[in-house]
Structures are given as structure tokens and as C-alpha cells.
Chains A and B, each alone.
Chain A
Amino acid sequence: MTLSVLFPVPYVTRSRTYGLIGAIKCETADIGCDHMATSIEKRKKARILRDNCVACGACVNVCPVNSVSIYKGIWADVDPEKCIGCSKCEKICPASAITMEVPE
């Protein structure tokens, strides 16, 4: 999780969506400002809908950081530690078995 001072509204870049959640003490706290006005940057990550997955492996082949594997030939598994949320797998999945979600 990255903490940073961010924009007041969620914004979208070409490849990722950043969202606003929660609030933490901002950097201006050092100089006496204590309004809780900043937010945590949280990235979406791929999540597999196992019931829909046909274990074709298309997602494995497009993932730039090798965070997907096929569990015993039954469904795909994402390693949330490695996933950078690029959503390439979501786009390629022919079974619509991947959603991009902010992990709880």
C-alpha cells in the first residue's frame, strides 16, 4: 500500500484507475496543519471468478509480472502481492472470469 498526498477526486490514467479511500494525516502536519485531508492510493488488482474460469491460460501469457498461474488445471490464480493492476488479463479473458477490484 502506498501512502501519498493525492488529488481530491479519483482520476484515471491510461492504464490504471486510482481511487480515494480513507484519510490519513497529511504531510503538512509537520508544520502544524492537522486537518485529515489526504488519502491512500489504492490500486485495483485482478480477481478471478473461479466459476467462470475455463483455465485456458490466456491471462497467464499476457501478465507482464507473471502473477497469474493455473491452479491444477482448474482455474487461474492471481498473486495479489505481485499484481500491478494493469488489467491486461481482464481484457484478454474470453470467459469474462476476471474483475479488477480494490482488495479489501
Chain B
Amino acid sequence: MSMNKSWKDKMWIFSVIYFSLGFFNIIFAWLGMLCFITPILMSIFGKEKAFCNSYCGRGQLFTLLGSGKKMSLNRNLPAFLKSRWFRYGFFIFFMIMFVNMLFATWAIFSGSGSLNASVRLFWTFDVPWEWANRTGESVPLWAIQFAYGFYSLMLTSLILGLLSMIIYKPRSWCVYCPMGTATQMICKIREEERL
């Protein structure tokens, strides 16, 4: 049990490894799909919010830096960031941007676009990231474009989360994290069906 617990508490290491790997080779960005699929599957198959509550490396990282390393100013989030419409609105915005990224991937797949080897932060600023494109011919171009797009989403949300951690409470990102919102929604729907 204690072994199990200590292992569960170290998930933040995977978060750090993930972003480091993507820095050196963008194809590892694909691993981030685990952070999308795992929480959704867990809440659909009866594990409720176990991902957020016990396994999410990002949540642990924010606790570690914010509470452990005392990097957080521990202020309350402004009311509008906590409001339901902002949480749901951000979720919808995030999903639209995800689909937008799939279109960019499709454009390459269908041969109508060319690879954009940069990481787009905040859906606006392109940061050159060519050095991380080192798979050569072995991986199709569309998969590399997807990796760039996905890493952009992950890095943007990490930066938003870190800023929230510093300015507000350590886990403020979790209030409007799209995966947190989605899993809570799934749990609510499941509970309504049960009743």
C-alpha cells in the first residue's frame, strides 16, 4: 500500500519528462494523448475523478511547486474565472482549437499543406522548434504536424497552469482545466442516469 502510494505521488515526474522529450524530439508529443484519453476513459468506466484526484502529474506538479516550494501567492481566483460559463466556455474553446489542429493535420495528410515546424503558443505566437523534428522519413509528415500541434496545446496549457499556480492558488488551473471539466461533467451525467 505504501509502495503503491509513493508511486502514485510521483506522477509529476512524467509531466516533466514529457515536456523535456518534446523539446528534443517532437514526436514524443503523441504521448500526451494519454493525458486526454486516460481521464475520460477512467470517468466513463466508473473510476470517477480518480485521474485528477490521484494520478494527474500536472496537478501534482502544481501542488509541488505551489505548496511544497512555496511559489504560489495563494490568492483567490477572480470570480469570473471560477464561474460555470468560463469553465464550460474554456472547455468548448479548447475543443474547437483541438479540432482546428486536426484540420491542420488533415491538410498535410491530404497533401494540401506544408509542415509548420513550430510550436504555437496561446494559439497565436509561433515559436521556431525545427530542431525537435528529427524523425526523418520514418514518420509520415501528418504525424509530425499533429505532434507539433499537440505539443503546442500541452505547452500553452502548462504555461497557463503555471501562471495560475503562481498568481493564485497552486491548483487554480484545475478549476478551468478542460480535462477536469470534462471528467466532472461525465460523472454528473452518470449520476443523473443512475438516479
Partner of A54, one of B54, B76, B174: B174
Cβ-based interface call for A72 (8 A):
yes
Let me know if A52 is at the binding interface, CB within 8 A: yes
Contacts of B183 in A (CB 8 A): 73
Interface of B is mostly: helix
Q: Is B82 an interface residue (CB 8 A)?
A: yes
- In the bound assembly, the distance between CA atoms of A44 and B102 in angstroms comes to 51
- A-contacting residues, B80-138, CB 8 Å: 82, 87
Are B53 and A54 in contact (CB-based, < 8 A)? no
A33 proximal to B (CB < 8 A): no
Sort chain B's interface into a size bin: 20 to 34
Could you tell me if A96 and B77 are in contact, using CB atoms closer than 8 angstroms?
yes
Q: Complex: how many Å from CA A60 to CA B49?
A: 12
Q: Are B49 and A57 in touch, CB under 8 angstroms? A: yes
Q: Which residues of A contact B87 (CB under 8 A)?
A: 54
Residues from chain A with Cβ under 8 Å of B174 in the complex: 54, 56, 58, 94
B52 and A55 contacting across the interface, CB-CB below 8 Å: yes
Structural contact, A94 and B175, CB atoms closer than 8 A: yes
How many A residues have CB within 8 A of the partner chain? 18
Name the interface residues of B1-59: CB closer than 8 Å to any CB of A: 43, 48-50, 52-54, 59
A52 to B174, CA, bound (A): 12
Q: Is there a chain B Cβ closer than 8 Å to A3's Cβ?
A: no
Of the listed residues A56, A58, A72, A73, the one surrounded by the most CB atoms of chain B closer than 10 A to its CB is A73
The reply to whether A74 and B169 form a contact with Cβ atoms under 8 Å apart is no
A–B pairs, 20, beta carbons within 8 Å: A54-B184, A55-B49, A55-B180, A56-B175, A57-B53, A58-B171, A61-B63, A70-B48, A72-B190, A72-B191, A74-B187, A74-B188, A91-B74, A92-B67, A92-B171, A94-B173, A95-B175, A96-B76, A96-B77, A96-B82
B residues adjacent to A (C-beta < 8 A)? 43, 48-50, 52-54, 59, 63, 67, 74, 76-77, 82, 87, 168-175, 180-181, 183-184, 186-188, 190-191
- Which of A's residues lie within 8 Å of B, judged by CB? 52, 54-58, 60-61, 70, 72-74, 91-96
